[in-house]
Structure 1
């Protein structure tokens, strides 16, 4: 029962839509009505601004880290840490509080990694932000950072420096987050991805994340 309770708690923590809360407090808007329709930091930056986006990112990272710490305090097992981190990402991406909408889970994924083994979490976050800012493609930074984290964790597990449960989390949830970026990958290959700093267009229709924006086509850039 404790295991299940921890997983449910981690999901509910991960599901807190900080992107929506911050955008409403800062500008009185629903971030889902802009740009990608997602609630992640990149879309908050587009819709509200850099400061709000940074706060949203840090809070999303905290969701992943707190879920892992909760699992360790209650159950003290690596498997519960991995499961709780995964539940937090699932909660962020499909939040029960907002009709199972959400983000793409990059920041929450990094937060989970940071709490498990901070050097990889820190390195992954640095790659995501560094490459994202350098190229102005946050999606590219996210994709490369996640790929590097999977390889790095695999090496550490083979060397018996980290438990295999951490690799299961990194590989499985990392691939899930990469899958959530499939549209971004297509646009990067086509040279059509929107760069960081572009303002989010107001979306038409309800904030479902699946409507078209005022440019007349699907809009799912960002996070």
Structure 2
């Protein structure tokens, strides 16, 4: 029952579309009509409002971190959090972000939410995966490629740090979702049509 509560609660928390809510509050219209139509921070940046994009990035990461923390503490105990339950909640938050019921299951790509789960649930893994994202972005100048490389490496890094089997499984699940949500980017990368970081 604890796992079911964590999964449902994480999904609902993750499905809050902060990108859409913040852009509307800022008077920027419907984010789904801007750029790629994605609800994440990268597309918010295309509105020209870096502050709103940053807020979206932080909140998208925070909703996974919050789901993991709440599930771990309240379905475990404050002194001995149940991290396995927390990992399930964080992974479910990413699922909710990418496939929110409120938006006909058409959401974001999950990168910020992915890092939110890693940094709170297994911070050494999160730091290394984040460093790999930065190194790939600096070298190749593709945001999508950075997400693909770092998310693919995350489960392997989790194994190296002896994260629990459920934690590794949750990380692998999240990596697969990130790859599924980047399938159009993968096609553009293969064709050489993916825009570099900084290009419109």
TM-score (norm 2): 0.88
The corresponding residue for 2:54 is 54
Poorly superposed stretches of 4+, deviation over 6 Å: none
- C-alpha separation between the residues in 2 aligned to 1:42 and 1:135? 17
CA distance in 2, matches of 1:28, 1:134: 33
Tell me the CA shift for residue 2 of structure 1: 4.5
In 1, Cα distance between the equivalents of 2:139 and 2:51? 18
Match of residue 124, structure 1, among 129, 133, 138 = 129
1:94 is matched with which residue? 99
C-alpha separation in 2, matches of 1:57 and 1:164:
28
For 1:1-223, list aligned pairs within 5 A.
Answer: 1-76=1-76, 77-129=82-134, 131-132=136-137, 135-157=140-162, 162-199=163-200
Contact 2:130–2:150 (CA under 8 A) maintained in structure 1? yes
Greater helix percent: which structure?
A: 2
Asked if 1 retains the 8 angstrom alpha-carbon contact of 2:72 and 2:84, the reply is: no
Deviation at 1:134, TM superposition (A): 5.6
Higher RCO (Cα < 8 Å, 6 or more apart): 1
Superposition deviation, residue 56 in structure 1: 0.8
Residues in 1 aligned to 2:22 and 2:34: alpha-carbon distance in whole angstroms: 14
Three-state SS of the structure 2 residue aligned to 1:35 is: coil
Residue 91 of structure 1 deviates from its aligned partner by 0.9
- Do the aligned partners of residues 125 and 26 (structure 1) sit closer, same or farther apart at CA in structure 2, a change above 3 Å counting? farther
Assess if the C-alpha contact under 8 Å between 1:68 and 1:81 holds in 2.
Answer: yes
Counterpart for residue 209 of structure 1: none
Greater shift in the superposed pair: 129-138 or 22-31: 129-138
The two structures, once aligned, show a CA RMSD in angstroms of 1.9
TM, length-normalised to structure 1:
0.79
